[in-house]
A and B are shown apart, each in its own frame.
Chain A
Amino acid sequence: MKVIKYQIVIMIILLSSCKDEEVDNLEFDTANGVFICNEGNFLSGNGSLSFYDPSQKTVSNNVFQGVNGFPLGDVVHSITIYGDKAYIVINNSGKIEVVNQFTFEHEGTISGLTSPREMLIINDEKAYVTDLYDNSIAIVNPSTYEKTGTLDLGTHTESIITDNQYVYVVSWRNNQQLFKIDTDTDRIVDSLDIGFQPNSLATDIHGNLWVAYDGGYQGQTNQSTPGIVKIDPREFQVESRFEPSSGSYDIFDLKINQSGAQLYFLLNSFNSPEENGVYMMNTSDASFPENPIISAGERRFYCLDIDQSNDDIYVTNPQSYTTDGRVYRYDQNAIIIDSFEVKLIPGAFGFQNN
């Protein structure tokens, strides 16, 4: 990756509807940082983007609106970094805003989407965008910002990942399917029922696919025990299944470290909040982990990610959901490094060095 160091000055421009401008001058390294997607409140249009410099331990909030003068939109759900661009998926505004990842300047908009969730870029001319409601994945050109086609799966889609041969995508809401897609033909080559409400995926050092599923909430039709499955991508069958021995849990945000040997995920207990936290599981383990490596305590962990450059663990706490959220940064030994405030409901990360 091309390493470029920029010094930029950010003008924080407040809402343009007849409001005086406040100016904030910040200078920091924008080449080795971390983007935080702050969802905002649903239907309020107040999603935003924060930028964190791990070396300086400084954070700047509202960088998109500050540089470009208009808001991101309603529910900033995820971000994908590719080349010198960052693609910010705005779920309830039906679009993806594209910025230069180093200057934050707006470069284009992919509009006309339904309810986009995550974007996976295949190459310079093709990307897949999953959707919470549409039964198709949108195929877009990340260079021209145009929608070029669709891939019909007959159901909505959520998290998406590639092993550089195929693309794998889960259908989360009220569903239990994992799809395998050939990116040359844009067709489904296989599908598999893996567990109720699969929400996140990871691939390990051996190319195995791991999928977490939350099992659904109490009272939901088809509710089952949550867990994690290991899938051999060649056979495309569930090879192993790991579930907690008892209790009602939500398991989500499955990630893997840079070595591809350790899995991390968030667990929230419905009945025993002392079990809430970040869990770690070696890919060689034979059973579900019993205790968190980072306990949530009084916090509610909402989003987890791993910086692939150094295995730092990032986890968010939305706090009251109408105030600033907080991000906690731990090292790979679960020792706290830093903690900082971002904006409403931080829900996803994007790492410039990954």
Chain B
Amino acid sequence: MKAVLIISFSFLCSLGCWSQNDTIKLSEPVILSAKPIQPKVETGIIKIDSSTISTYKTQSIAELLHDQSPVFIKSYGPGSIATLSFRGTSASHSKIVWNGIDISNPMLGQTDLSLIPVAFLDRVEIRPGSKSLQISDGAIGGAIALRSSLPIDDTLYANFNQSIGSFGMYSQNMSMGFITGPIKSRIQLFQLYSDNDFEFYNNAIGSPETQRQANASFRRIGAILDLDYQLGLKDTLKTSIWIQGNNRNIPNIMSYQGNNRFENQTDESLRSTLTWIRKTPNYRSEFVSGLNITELVYKNHLQTYDSEVQPLSHSTSTSSSYYNNYSYLRKLNKKLDFSFRGHLNYHEVSNLDDIEQTGYDATRFETGAFASLNQRWSTQLHTTALVKAQYVDAAIQPIIPSFSINWMTNNDIQFSAQLSRNFHLPTLNDLYWIPGGNPELLPETSNMAEIDFQQLLLSRNKTKIRQQIGVHFAEVNNWIQWQPGNFGYWEAQNIRNVQTRGCEHQLQIEHYVLKWKFNYTHHYTFTQSIDQDVMRQLIYTPVHQSKSFLSTSYNEKTVIHYSYTLVGNRNTELSEFQVLPSYGLHNISLMKMIDISKTHFEIRWSIRNILNSQYQTILWRAMPGRNFEFSLALSL
């Protein structure tokens, strides 16, 4: 009965998303393996484990986070840029940390999630708000921690996956690895191409009609090498090298009825980390040295009235970032832990538009450290105090304090509360872009308060129910915004103050019936992110979001997954008129596993947007209707 009430409450929270919606909508399909899937929940932190991650091998992390986390993914369409928003903050307020280094572009301050393949990841951890302080800087919205982690029990293995899908999509993933003595190694390769020429109904023009998306194809290709070397009982050396190339054509907005225009963007990146870890009974230390080199080339050509192709823009942006992070955790006594983290980073960027002959070169040097004390007052109560300081380009930055209290009544209930302050530096584009960059910009600052509650509601032989509730509040000052200025160009200003508040509810149910396993996860978020000047919800920030995932497996050989994502209304401007309506997406997939001799086969069929809903995540950017994917994977 208690479980029924909890489930009912969880759905009732979602009803706000149903306002003024007369279309049945679908969400992205999520492919599951036969292993039980349980995103592990610590107070406020969500960990998505490898078994869940493995079901998204042909997709980007944008799709994974869209389905499996409470964050909002703002996507311009399949293959197009996708960015992350935590609790109503902007994309630059969120950081992506891979193997301990922040891979956010120092020019833009954000990461395009559509370019990060899930195939290269083994662990994903979502840290909203102040939970990000220990792993990143400037993440006043939150941070996503990504890791490559080698298997520990397969001495020699190889996996291959081939997928084909709608709109001319085909992809291949391959991985091979071995363990010998102290060495573990794995190499992974992937390739993805899509014509992306889906049909959509264009109602943004005077004569609405069904059209086919044009100039939207994309290709991604990449490889990653992971190598672990166990130096002894205490020390481990890890290295990862990730190279990737992406080429995508950018389609026009739906209202465009002009001359032929061609936009294209290529992104190439080389990322590498070298990590030394030492673990003893009393302390743990980790040193990470890394680099992140990227080059982005954007081209915009149009066909003139004379049918010649005229270049409008040919912009090349390169960035080279070098990281050195050291962290140390020590148990001072039975009740007191001390942790320290220091970093020394250097960024060098360059931008040039060959047509306009504008651009800039800039560097940024960052160093900083934090120290924290974790005091265990009893088996139930502990507190953590943290202080962080940074020195960037010869300027001392605001001190960041944080204090949290954690209380566990018993093994079933955990409660935590946290107060903290954070700041986000202007990006290098904000400061130096020509024209419009503003070297006088101040850092954005944030004061945050969070309360999290986690409870194991039910734990029996065949049934487990767990829920987590979080409440948060933050005030962001000196929010940087680009707006039209003098001489017809845009310029960056500290002009906005925003208050964000909200709550997040997560429910997880695991149940077994005979040979059937059922796993259900539901996320609901309520977010108010209010511009204090006009007292309105920020654009593209839904107040309500609801995400449900149900997986069933029979005898660990047949898996069916169903997911439903519901996103509430979103403002597209800070006024009353333009509101994008809510949408919901239904997805389903069926997977069958077959073992023949020593070879393991997985066959998977997926249908996304089952009900062929027409929707927009960004105003007047077309999204695909119903689409299909078929995959065949084999493991040796």
- In the complex, what residues of A have CB within 8 A of residue B310's CB? 133-135
**A217–B574 Cα gap in the complex (Å)?**
30
Q: Does A302 contact B (CB under 8 A)?
A: yes
- CB of B187, distance to nearest CB on chain A (Å): 39
Q: Do residues B580 and A17 form an inter-chain contact, with CB atoms below 8 A?
A: yes
Q: Do residues A302 and B305 form an inter-chain contact, with CB atoms below 8 A?
A: no
Q: Do residues B205 and A17 form an inter-chain contact, with CB atoms below 8 A?
A: no
- Tell which of A18, A43, A324 touches B615, judged by Cβ atoms closer than 8 Å: A18
Taking A133-B312, A219-B434 as contacts, is the C-beta distance between A111 and B619 under 8 angstroms?
no
- Tell which of A16, A72, A116 touches B203, judged by Cβ atoms closer than 8 Å: A16
List residues of B (568-602) whose CB comes within 8 Å of A's CBs.
572-575, 577-581, 583
**A135–B307 Cα gap in the complex (Å)?**
12
Interface of B is mostly: loop
Please tell me which stretch of B248-256, B386-394, B412-420, B558-566 contacts chain A, meaning at least 4 of its Cβ atoms lie within 8 angstroms of it: B248-256
Q: Do residues B581 and A15 form an inter-chain contact, with CB atoms below 8 A?
A: yes
Q: Do residues B579 and A219 form an inter-chain contact, with CB atoms below 8 A?
A: no
- In the complex, what residues of A have CB within 8 A of residue B281's CB? none
**A19–B457 Cα gap in the complex (Å)?**
39
Taking A18-B22, A73-B204, A133-B312 as contacts, is the C-beta distance between A324 and B575 under 8 angstroms?
yes
Q: Does A235 contact B (CB under 8 A)?
A: no
With CB as the reference atom, state the residue of chain B lying closest to A150: B305
Q: Do residues B255 and A93 form an inter-chain contact, with CB atoms below 8 A?
A: yes
- In the complex, what residues of B have CB within 8 A of residue A321's CB? 481, 483-484
With CB as the reference atom, state the residue of chain B lying closest to A223: B487
Q: Do residues B489 and A217 form an inter-chain contact, with CB atoms below 8 A?
A: yes
- In the complex, what residues of B have CB within 8 A of residue A173's CB? 488
**A220–B312 Cα gap in the complex (Å)?**
18
List residues of A (102-149) whose CB comes within 8 Å of B's CBs.
106, 109, 111-116, 133-136, 138, 147
Q: Do residues A268 and B204 form an inter-chain contact, with CB atoms below 8 A?
A: no
- Tell which of B258, B486, B579 touches A114, judged by Cβ atoms closer than 8 Å: B258
With CB as the reference atom, state the residue of chain B lying closest to A217: B487
- Tell which of B258, B486, B620 touches A71, judged by Cβ atoms closer than 8 Å: B620
- In the complex, per-residue mask of B76-117: 1 if CB is within 8 Å of any chain A CB, else 0: 000000000000000000000000000000000000000000
- Tell which of A46, A68, A93, A320 touches B495, judged by Cβ atoms closer than 8 Å: A320
Q: Do residues B304 and A41 form an inter-chain contact, with CB atoms below 8 A?
A: no
- Tell which of A14, A115, A152, A318 touches B258, judged by Cβ atoms closer than 8 Å: A115
Q: Do residues B579 and A221 form an inter-chain contact, with CB atoms below 8 A?
A: no
- CB of B494, distance to nearest CB on chain A (Å): 13
With CB as the reference atom, state the residue of chain A lying closest to B259: A114
In this complex, how many residues of chain A approach chain B with their Cβ under 8 Å: the count is 69
Q: Do residues A46 and B257 form an inter-chain contact, with CB atoms below 8 A?
A: no
Taking A45-B204, A46-B578 as contacts, is the C-beta distance between A92 and B256 under 8 angstroms?
yes
Q: Do residues B20 and A71 form an inter-chain contact, with CB atoms below 8 A?
A: no
- In the complex, per-residue mask of A36-61: 1 if CB is within 8 Å of any chain B CB, else 0: 00001101111010000000000001
Q: Does B5 contact A (CB under 8 A)?
A: no
Q: Does B446 contact A (CB under 8 A)?
A: no
**A14–B572 Cα gap in the complex (Å)?**
13
Q: Of B306, B483, B486, which is in contact with the most chain A CB atoms at under 10 Å from its CB?
A: B486
Q: Do residues B435 and A322 form an inter-chain contact, with CB atoms below 8 A?
A: no
**A113–B302 Cα gap in the complex (Å)?**
11
- CB of B109, distance to nearest CB on chain A (Å): 19
Q: Do residues B484 and A214 form an inter-chain contact, with CB atoms below 8 A?
A: no
Q: Do residues A97 and B580 form an inter-chain contact, with CB atoms below 8 A?
A: no
Taking A95-B258, A114-B258, A320-B574 as contacts, is the C-beta distance between A135 and B435 under 8 angstroms?
no
Q: Does A216 contact B (CB under 8 A)?
A: yes
Q: Does B539 contact A (CB under 8 A)?
A: yes
- In the complex, per-residue mask of B481-520: 1 if CB is within 8 Å of any chain A CB, else 0: 1011011110000011000000000000000000000000
- In the complex, what residues of B have CB within 8 A of residue A72's CB? 255
**A152–B253 Cα gap in the complex (Å)?**
28
Q: Does B155 contact A (CB under 8 A)?
A: no
List residues of B (200-259) whose CB comes within 8 Å of A's CBs.
203-206, 208, 253-259
Q: Of A17, A90, A270, which is in contact with the most chain B CB atoms at under 10 Å from its CB?
A: A17
- In the complex, what residues of A have CB within 8 A of residue B22's CB? 18, 20
- In the complex, what residues of B have CB within 8 A of residue A111's CB? 257-258
Taking A43-B253, A321-B484 as contacts, is the C-beta distance between A221 and B306 under 8 angstroms?
no
**A95–B256 Cα gap in the complex (Å)?**
8
- CB of B497, distance to nearest CB on chain A (Å): 12
- Tell which of A90, A150, A345 touches B255, judged by Cβ atoms closer than 8 Å: A90
With CB as the reference atom, state the residue of chain A lying closest to B613: A18
- In the complex, what residues of A have CB within 8 A of residue B484's CB? 302, 318, 321, 345
Q: Do residues B21 and A18 form an inter-chain contact, with CB atoms below 8 A?
A: yes
Taking A45-B255, A217-B435 as contacts, is the C-beta distance between A250 and B306 under 8 angstroms?
no
Q: Do residues B357 and A15 form an inter-chain contact, with CB atoms below 8 A?
A: no
- In the complex, what residues of B have CB within 8 A of residue A221's CB? 357
**A111–B616 Cα gap in the complex (Å)?**
24
- In the complex, what residues of B have CB within 8 A of residue A95's CB? 257-258
**A215–B487 Cα gap in the complex (Å)?**
9
Taking A136-B305, A321-B483 as contacts, is the C-beta distance between A45 and B206 under 8 angstroms?
no
Q: Do residues A136 and B306 form an inter-chain contact, with CB atoms below 8 A?
A: yes
- CB of A43, distance to nearest CB on chain B (Å): 6
- In the complex, what residues of B have CB within 8 A of residue A320's CB? 481, 483, 495-496, 531, 533-534, 574
- In the complex, what residues of A have CB within 8 A of residue B402's CB? none
Q: Does A204 contact B (CB under 8 A)?
A: no
**A70–B204 Cα gap in the complex (Å)?**
6
Q: Do residues B305 and A44 form an inter-chain contact, with CB atoms below 8 A?
A: no
**A318–B481 Cα gap in the complex (Å)?**
14
Q: Does A348 contact B (CB under 8 A)?
A: no
- CB of B249, distance to nearest CB on chain A (Å): 16
Q: Does B614 contact A (CB under 8 A)?
A: yes
Q: Of B306, B358, B574, B620, which is in contact with the most chain A CB atoms at under 10 Å from its CB?
A: B620
Interchain Cβ contacts under 8 Å between A and B, 7 examples: A15-B579, A43-B253, A71-B204, A73-B255, A147-B305, A318-B484, A323-B536
Task: Please name the 7 residue pairs, one residue from A and one from B, whose CB atoms are nearest each other, closest first.
Answer: A94-B258, A45-B620, A73-B255, A111-B257, A250-B486, A321-B483, A323-B574
Residues of A at the B interface (CB closer than 8 Å) are: 14-20, 40-41, 43-46, 48, 61-62, 68, 70-74, 90, 92-95, 97, 106, 109, 111-116, 133-136, 138, 147, 150, 152, 172-174, 197, 199, 214, 216-217, 219-221, 250, 252, 268, 270, 302, 318, 320-324, 343-345
Residues of B at the A interface (CB closer than 8 Å) are: 20-23, 203-206, 208, 253-259, 261, 302, 304-306, 310, 312, 356-358, 434-435, 481, 483-484, 486-489, 495-496, 531, 533-534, 536, 539, 572-575, 577-581, 583, 614-616, 619-620
Known: A73-B204, A214-B487. 18 other contacts (CB 8 A): A17-B616, A18-B22, A18-B581, A19-B581, A45-B255, A70-B203, A90-B255, A113-B258, A114-B258, A114-B304, A133-B302, A133-B312, A152-B306, A216-B487, A219-B434, A320-B496, A321-B483, A343-B577
